[in-house]
Amino acid sequence: MNATYKIDPQRTKSAMKIVVIGGSGLIGTKLVNKLRQLGHEVVAASPASGVNTITGEGLAEALAGAQVVVDVANSPSFEDKAVLEFFETSGRNLLAAEAAAGVGHHIALSVVGTDRLLASGYFRAKMAQENLIKASKIPYTILRSTQFFEFVSAIAQSATNGQTVRLSSALVQPVVSDDVAAAVADIAVGEPLNGTVELAGPEPIRLDELVRRFLSANRDARQVTTDVRALYFGTELNDQSLTPGDNARIGPTRFEDWLSRSIPQRQANQAGSTPRSSGAPDRR
Ligand SMILES: NC(=O)c1ccc[n+]([C@@H]2O[C@H](COP(=O)([O-])OP(=O)(O)OC[C@H]3O[C@@H](n4cnc5c(N)ncnc54)[C@H](OP(=O)(O)O)[C@@H]3O)[C@@H](O)[C@H]2O)c1
């Protein structure tokens, strides 16, 4: 079993009601489990369970009596206009409902480098989400994470044309979703920082090389072509774009360890049904 980001039990407050918006997603599912294991009352909220931050359905009921709300929802569409509308509308509705319910800590999961990547519609939307949080009166913590290992499949898919995957060689420092969920859980049970913290994996690696290793381990015949001008979700990259600053928290799981562990699991899943957390490319 791999080491994962450790939660300090000393920092865990007595049992709280914690609402996880996006509680059925990749991070949300893991986060809900971790917080329940710590003894908290956790509501896994998402449209599938009747809580919708866009329409407002079920929001007031889910938030009644909650001390903490964690937003790990994501837009169903990454198209520029749709994703901006999603994070703006969802953020406004959620923060208003939290103010009405007297929530004392709002936590959101964003992306390292968001402010450096505003040529991308997705990152403009994440910036809008962060700005709404900072402008609200609710105490908050924003965790900016690097790319999840599980997202590498979607990065490859987004850069694929035929059998060619055209990618920048910019440095990245991805992190496994288990370590992200553990870091979010640790923040959720702590005091609000009214600030932003960063999380990354243990090793910097070039994006083209990362995807090459992923495809090769999966016996995927697509070939990665390096192109420094290749767009990453609409924006060019350099070595600083997606990499964290000096004070980032570091999730310990190595990409190679995750690959060797996850490939037999992925093959087994493909033989049966495909679970939500598979990083299936069609979700991005
Ligand atoms: N992918 C990365 O590498 C990366 C890196 C850094 C940060 N992040 C951030 O991490 C967050 C979580 O990503 P993820 O990959 O865990 O997401 P995900 O697996 O795609 O899950 C998205 C979640 O959002 C929910 N959702 C969608 N529309 C909603 C609505 N109207 N109201 C309430 N919930 C809604 C979904 O609910 P249903 O299941 O009911 O549809 C699902 O639970 C995102 O905000 C993303 O920006 C991602």
Instruction: Give the global pTM.
Output: 0.92
SS3 82: helix
Best mutation site among 52, 57, 72 for ligand 1, i.e. most ligand atoms within 8 A of its Cβ?
Answer: 72
How far apart (Å, rounded) are the C-alpha atoms in residues 281 and 207? 17
The pick from 72, 74, 89, 214 for probing ligand 1's pocket by mutation, whose C-beta has the most ligand atoms within 8 angstroms, reads: 74
Q: Is the CB of 24 under 6 A from ligand 1?
A: yes
Residue 125 alpha carbon to ligand 1 centre in Å: 13
Tell me, in angstroms, the distance from the centre of ligand 1 to residue 28's CA: 8
Cβ(159) to ligand 1 under 6 A? no
Our answer on whether the CB atom of 160 is closer than 6 Å to any ligand 1 atom is no
Concatenating the DSSP letter of every residue in 233-254 gives: TTB---TTTS---TT-EE----
Per-residue pLDDT of the chain (284 residues; tens, 9 = 90+): 334 455 555 555 589 999 999 999 999 999 999 999 999 999 999 999 999 999 999 999 999 999 999 999 999 999 999 999 999 999 999 999 999 999 999 999 999 999 999 999 999 999 999 999 999 999 999 999 999 999 999 999 999 999 999 999 999 999 999 999 999 999 999 999 999 999 999 999 999 999 999 999 999 999 999 999 999 999 999 999 999 999 999 999 999 999 999 877 767 776 665 444 333 322 32
Ligand 1 geometric centre to CA of 25 (Å):
5
Q: Is the CB of 21 under 6 A from ligand 1?
A: yes
- Closest by Cα among 247, 264, 263, 245 to 255: 263
Structure tokens at 157: 């898919």
Q: One-letter amino acid identity for 283?
A: R
